[in-house]
Chains A and B, each alone.
Chain A
Amino acid sequence: MNVCGGHERAITLAGLRSVLPPGIELIPGPGCPVCICPEEEIYQAMQLALHEQITLLAFGDMLRVPVNLPLREIRTLEQAKAAGADIRPIASPTEAVRIAAGLPGRPVVFFAAGFETTIAPVAAMLAEGVPDNLALLLSGRLTWPAVAMLLNSGEAGFDALIAPGHVATVMGPEEWEFLVQEHRLPAAIAGFTPDSLLAAIYSTLRQRLEGRIFLDNCYPEVVRAGGNPAARAVLDRTLDVVDANWRGIGTILASGFALKASLAAHDAGRLYPSYNDPERSRLGQMPAGCDCARVVLGRIYPDGCKLYGATCTPRTPVGPCMVSDEGACRIWWAGGVIASGQRETV
């Protein structure tokens, strides 16, 4: 299993599955932060943009994820923007600072979803100091607790893990040692090129065949012992690790980031009321008929969902896995995969 949309993209676009011998399956797992971002948090961001006098910033991927509302209503940040809300896609936390600094007196909310690689830059932005009018709606997650949860569930459905290269660059490879220590699972950290991924796949196979299980580093260019100490320091200084909800999965212990109390003045979760009505239909769930939850968990391949390529395509996405550039469904569809012949993993 891989747990990174960047890995899945490289695997699919290079056609690695088609050249591997039978018996080796590459399963896309929970590797897409947009896909597991709680539906109610996207809803909250959208309602803030529609009902508060604010400017909302978000990474571009997030703008087209539909929330569970009737088709006639405003269902995405993109539609809210078209309806007049001030919503701006950004590509870097530095843009959030620049935009907020350029709008003195106007509240700016940065809806930041991402894994460690994205949240460390957000933490760096906070540590460096942000304008008074910039607040964060943070939906940051740690990747390894999701893998630990799958392994502890008793039905993991995979025999080896390709660990995410840039998460390990920031946090250090040591985070993934539990795979070997606690689960005797072959594991290798990979970069984002076919050769690094092939090296990692080969390493895990050899580990299994030789019975010599260890955490291999197939991305030594940037993955070093201890990770990036400055990045980890800014994370520690600005954010707490908390239990967090993953869309389609549920709560995973110690798997999310939250702003420290000292940054309460920049915490949009504290500054604004919740617009989520607990009575709203399908609150927090995946859309009706959508199998994104099982895709995210690696229980089925994208084409195992009956909506894949039928009613759900990148032009008319139903679930988040078909929206995000890191969603397995979108990657498979962009890669021309109509049917894989491998629909279920367990």
Chain B
Amino acid sequence: MCLGIPMQVVEIEGFNARCEAKGVYREVSLFMLQGEDVQVGDHVMVHVGYAIQTMTPQEARSSWELFDELLEAEDLTAVPGGEHV
């Protein structure tokens, strides 16, 4: 449950933001970033539907690249008895 996903803000309405990561869209709450000036186009770290921190685009991108590598590695782990998760 600690896996946060970096996402880009595409729309903001009050504390609710529509965010995107790799073509996937999610409704995200900005309630815990009240002290920050979050704008459309900014990147945030999202955990269980809530943005927990802002990040720079470079930081978000490098996380995505590494997540992609992790997912690739996971795809290769078809093992005897191993269940794909």
Chain A residues with Cβ below 8 Å from B24 are none
Among B40-84, those with CB < 8 Å from A are 45, 47-50, 52-53, 55-56, 59, 62-63, 66-67, 69-70, 73-74, 77, 79-84
Q: How many Cβ-Cβ contacts under 8 Å join chain A to chain B?
A: 143
Asked if A13 contacts B83 (CB within 8 A), the reply is no
Q: Is the interface of A mostly helix, strand, loop or mixed?
A: helix
Size band of the B side of the interface? 35 or more
A166 touches B (CB below 8 Å): yes
**Beyond A13-B74, A33-B1, is A336–B48 a contact (Cβ under 8 Å)?**
no
B42 to chain A minimum Cβ distance, whole angstroms, is 13
* Distance to closest chain A CB from B28 (angstroms): 8
- Bound together, the chains give a CA A125 to CA B85 distance in angstroms of 29
A26 part of interface (Cβ distance < 8 Å): no
Q: Can you name the residue of chain A whose Cβ is closest to the Cβ of B27?
A: A94
B-chain residues with CB within 8 Å of residue A315 when the two chains form the complex? 83
Contact A222 B52 (CB under 8 A): yes
Q: Contact check: which of B27, B52, B59 meets A228 at CB < 8 Å?
A: B52
Given A13-B74, A230-B33, A234-B32, are A334 and B1 neighbors across the interface (CB < 8 Å)? no
Task: Report the bound CA distance from A336 to B52 in whole Å.
Answer: 33
Alpha-carbon distance between A221 and B45 when the two chains are bound, in angstroms: 10
Total A residues in contact with B, Cβ cutoff 8 Å? 57
Which of B45, B49, B81, B84 is in CB contact (< 8 Å) with A93? Answer: B49
Residue B25 at the chain A interface, CB threshold 8 Å: no
Interface stretch (choices A4-12, A77-85, A130-138): A4-12
**Contact, CB under 8 Å: B70 / A120:** no
Question: Would B3 and A192 count as touching, CB distance under 8 A?
Answer: yes
Task: Identify the B interface with A (CB < 8 A).
Answer: 1-4, 15, 27, 29, 31-35, 45, 47-50, 52-53, 55-56, 59, 62-63, 66-67, 69-70, 73-74, 77, 79-85
